Structure 1
Amino acid sequence: MTRFSVIFFALALLAESSFGKRTPPATVEPVIHEGVRYIAPNDDGRRAHIEAWDVQTNRKLWDLTVFTNRIDPKLEEDVQWFFIDKLGVHDETLIVKSERGITYQIDLKTKAITQSEAAWSAIPGVPAHRNEIPELIERAITNGSLAKKYELSYRMNPFYLRGDFDGDSKIDAAALVKERSTGKLGIAIVHGSTGKVTILGAGTAIGNGGDDFEWMDSWRIHARDHATDETSAPKLRGDALLVSKSEAASALIYWNGKRYVWSQHGD
């Protein structure tokens, strides 16, 4: 074998071994707040998660998935991995920043996760948020039996929220969905403990919201312990969803122990 052939063969092997391989994730500096150390292990390419450890006893208190990476089997898997690259804490909120520039805010009391309204960081031609679907939503809607009738909707940022909606101390998820046959928009709530899915809107009417939430232009978590002076405010068993149309109506959607109900807040 000539010297040129040896060099060419070596370069070919190097290219093959490096193609499609991503660099290792950054080591994220832990943060400590009120005796608890929060770390991002970055040890699972499919799941970005946070661990909370008691500083005094070094006992793990909880583990929470912040986002998952949706994997296309036709592509190299590791180039589809995105990790956490920064942690911070402000008041009772843990701030988590992903490698894509997406910021997640975790309420340390309820462990409810929301995304900031900052612009999405996108790969050319691929909306970044489509690759960060929580496992609970993906299992129930994207890959489940409901996929034939509904699809996720990305018309608003964030397109999903997490909280304890039924008050069982398990994290649930709510996602924007669209009924395939009609194009009607709504919300799918997935209970973390059972995987049960409730569709609100998207062809299923609820309260004054009707069966199409096309009117809704914002939504957020309304925490169970949210202080209010309204005497008519419902007593919440868990976190609620505050859905609204700018400069118009808003309403709470909450679990009453048997089903999700609508409480109008304005006209």
Structure 2
Amino acid sequence: MKTIYLVLIILMANQVIAQDSLSTNNSLLSKRIPAWVKTVIEKSEVAKNYTIIDSINPFYLEVDLTGDKLDDIVFFVRNNLDGKKGVMIINRGKNVLFVLGGGKDIGMGDNVNWCNRWFVYRDKGIFDGVGKKKASLKYPAIRLEKSDRLSLYIYWSGKKYKTYVQLFEE
């Protein structure tokens, strides 16, 4: 009888440990993100397919990307199925989320694993490598970079998120 209890305890402990690795991560995240974001993530079927990467600095970006006067939250994420990296934007005004990259094509593939730096881009335009304007920006954008050789801009067009790839010659 003691053996059966011991086996049951071990099985239950393994299950708790397996679940706890996710809940511990969520517990840590819960302390570091706004409460409204947790609600959107918990209700989203899409979010279940991704893991938030907190090793990039800053851990998340907070900015009004759509001009609704409410700050949106942006995370760097990894697709749980294929490991591809992307960006998850959580729109506060509509309480919905969008994933760009992370297995979804963004105009230069479906993976932003090359990114080693990201930040909020507040200029009013996106320019190519020789200074020619490629897009006008009404709202801030997210800029992903690989050193100084490659940049990807993610911005709101007024109807949807768009991207622009900027390559620099050496």
Q: What is the TM-score when the length of structure 2 is the normalising length?
A: 0.71
Q: Is the 8 A contact 1:152 1:176 kept in 2?
A: yes
The percentage of aligned residue pairs carrying the same residue is: 30
* Structure 1: tracts of 5 or more residues without a match: 1-125
SS of the residue corresponding to residue 264 of structure 1 reads: strand
Q: Is residue 90 of structure 2 the alignment partner of residue 178 of structure 1?
A: no
Aligned pairs (5 A) from 1:1-267: 130=29, 131-141=31-41, 143-145=42-44, 146-208=46-108, 210-223=109-122, 225=124, 230-267=131-168
Larger RCO, structures 1/2 (Cα 8 Å, 6+ apart): 2
Shift of 1:226: 7.4
State the Cα RMSD in Å: 2.6
Shift of 1:240: 0.2
Aligned length: 139
SS of the residue corresponding to residue 110 of structure 2 reads: coil
Which has the larger helix fraction? Answer: 2
Shift of 1:202: 0.8
SS of the residue corresponding to residue 148 of structure 1 reads: helix
Could you tell me how far apart the structure 2 residues matched to 1:185 and 1:254 are? 18
Shift of 1:184: 1.2
Alignment-derived partner of residue 53 in structure 1: none
Could you tell me how far apart the structure 2 residues matched to 1:252 and 1:148 are? 25
* Change in 2 beyond 3 A, CA 1:227/1:147: closer
Q: What is the TM-score when the length of structure 1 is the normalising length?
A: 0.47
Q: Structure 1: which amino acid aligns with 2:40?
A: A
Shift of 1:135: 2.6
Could you tell me how far apart the structure 2 residues matched to 1:262 and 1:227 are? 10
Q: Is the 8 A contact 1:224 1:237 kept in 2?
A: no
Shift of 1:265: 2.1
* Structure 2: tracts of 5 or more residues without a match: 1-24
Q: Is the 8 A contact 2:126 2:136 kept in 1?
A: no
Shift of 1:204: 0.8
